[in-house]
Each structure stands twice: as C-alpha cells, then as structure tokens.
Structure 1
Amino acid sequence: MDLNITHEKLNGTHYLELDGEVQSYTAPKLKAILFPLSEQTKQKIIIDVEKIDFIDSVGLGVFAGAIKSSIMNNSTLILRGMTCRVRRLFEITGLIEMI
C-alpha cells in the first residue's frame, strides 16, 4: 500500500492529509515533508490521519521525531481524525501525551 500526502498552507497553518499506510517503505516520504516543517520555529501543523490504515514502528518513529522537533522549536503539531486503532497505538507508545 502506498501513502498519499496532500500538503496545503492556509493562513500560516500547514495542513497535511495522509491516506494509506505509514510503514518502512512509505515513512521516508512523510519524513521528507514533515521534518522540515517541524524544524521551523513557531509553526502550526495539522495532520489529518483519518485515512491511515496502518502504522508500523518506522512510521511511529517519524511521528515521534516530528513531535519532539516541534516541541523543541515551539511549534504546534496536531493530529486530527484519529481512528480508535491509531489513537490506541499513540496511547500505548505514550506519544498521545506529547501532542
């Protein structure tokens, strides 16, 4: 399965919509878009994950790195549209408390 990423910037806020799987094959694609945004100071990034079917450990690593980077750079990173399955994964790993 592939990962489709739509990126739009409106009124200073970056909106990303993810559709597919975030796993070892597709995670570099997400990282290439998300990390440069999270490394900028005082950015607002909203990621719609409603259409995510699967996240593996590599995908979680991308999210964890982006969350940490956004915190260090005084930016806001919001995940919206989390399914119960994705939410549970973020709860188990403790990432939910960082976003």
Structure 2
Amino acid sequence: MNIVIDVNEKELDVEIKVAGEIDAYTAPKLKERIYSFSEKDGVRMTIDLSDVNYMDSTGLGVFVGLFKNVRSHDGEFKLIGLSERLIRLFEITGLADIININSKIEGGIK
C-alpha cells in the first residue's frame, strides 16, 4: 500500500499528482501533505488521479474535506484523470454532482 504525491505550486495554482492507492492507511498521508494548500485564499487546486488504482471511502473523505476547505476560501477544486471505477465511486456517492470531476487530463500534469 504505497502512495506517491507530487505537488507543483505556482502562486495560487496548485497541481497535485497522486499515484498508488488511497485507503485508510495512505489517506492520512495524502491529507497531511496537501491540506495546507487548500487554506490559501483563491487557490486553484487540480488533483490528477490518473495513476490511482484504488480508493476507498477514506480517500473520498479526504477529497470532500479538501473541496469544502478550498470552497470556503473562495478557491476552485478539480479532480482529473479519474478511471471509470473512480468516476463510478463519485457518482454512486453523489459527489460527482458536487465536485468537478473531469475524466480527461487538460494540459496534463507532469
């Protein structure tokens, strides 16, 4: 159960690339690594999940918390590169109607 988190920050644009599994073991690491970025006023946070092969409800909880925090600071929050399985997870929970999930990578995060 490994997770790799790469952050590219340029002023208010924060691009995060996550690879591996997001579960009860790795979700706290993810939150610890990126939560502080969600507290910047006007941040534009994009998280690329194209290399995430598994996520459970703990991972969903991290993204809901990030989304709420970004929005409370008048920022933008977007998830990109979701697999069909992850898209389905967000749809089943109703989060796809709230959080901007885009299955295509725009411009690409490297």
Q: Same fold (TM over 0.5)?
A: yes
Q: Is the 2:21–2:55 Cα contact (8 Å) retained in structure 1?
A: yes
1:11 shift after superposition: 5.3
What RMSD, in angstroms, separates the aligned Cα atoms of the two structures?
A: 1.2
CA distance in 1, matches of 2:75, 2:30: 18
Aligned to 1:45: 45
- Write out the 4+ residue segments of structure 1 that deviate beyond 2 Å after TM superposition: none
Q: CA contact under 8 A between 1:3 and 1:20: conserved in structure 2?
A: yes
> Equivalent pairs: percent with the same residue?
36
2:12–2:42 contact (8 Å) kept in structure 1: no
CA 92–50 in structure 1, closer or farther in 2 if over 3 Å, else same: same
Unaligned runs of 5+ in 2: 100-110
User: With structure 1 as the length reference, what TM-score do the two structures score?
Assistant: 0.92
TM-score of the superposed pair, with normalisation by structure 2: 0.84
CA distance in 2, matches of 1:37, 1:98: 20
Structure (1/2) with the larger helix percentage: 1
The number of residue pairs the alignment matches comes to 99
Q: Deviations over 1:51-89 (max 9, x none)?
A: 111111111110111111111111111111111110111
